[in-house]
Amino acid sequence: MPINIAVGREMTIIYLDRKGSISQRRIQVQGVQGERVKAYCYTARAPRVFLRTGILAAREVQAAGAGVRLGMVGVAGAGHAG
């Protein structure tokens, strides 16, 4: 399922950086240009650019009690239980 990244939205993402480190980030999406997502990262307290290919999962931060949508992308070598 493709991940929906919408400008102006506050999101929580699971991110795989170029060094192979995985982190959870809370971001405010400021722009999307091709494979780059420009955002303010509340975790780092600074603007950041994330590669779409590194975003493993994302969910929109919503008001308490609202439904949550989660998008996931496949990771090489990951198996499915079933």
The pLDDT profile of the chain, 82 residues, written as one tens digit per residue, is: 567 888 999 999 999 999 999 999 999 999 999 999 999 999 999 999 999 999 999 999 986 655 555 555 544 444 444 4
Distance CA 44, CA 46 (A): 5
Cβ-proximal residues to 67 (8 Å cutoff; 6+ apart), any chain: none
Say if CB 60 and CB 69 are below 8 A apart: yes
pTM listed for this prediction: 0.72
Domain ranges of the chain: 10-66
- Give the model's pLDDT for residue 5: 83
The torsion angles phi and psi of 64, rounded to 5 degrees, stand at: -55, 135
CATH 2.30.30 for domain 10-66, yes or no, is yes
Distance CA 36, CA 63 (A): 27
In total, the chain counts a number of residues equal to: 82
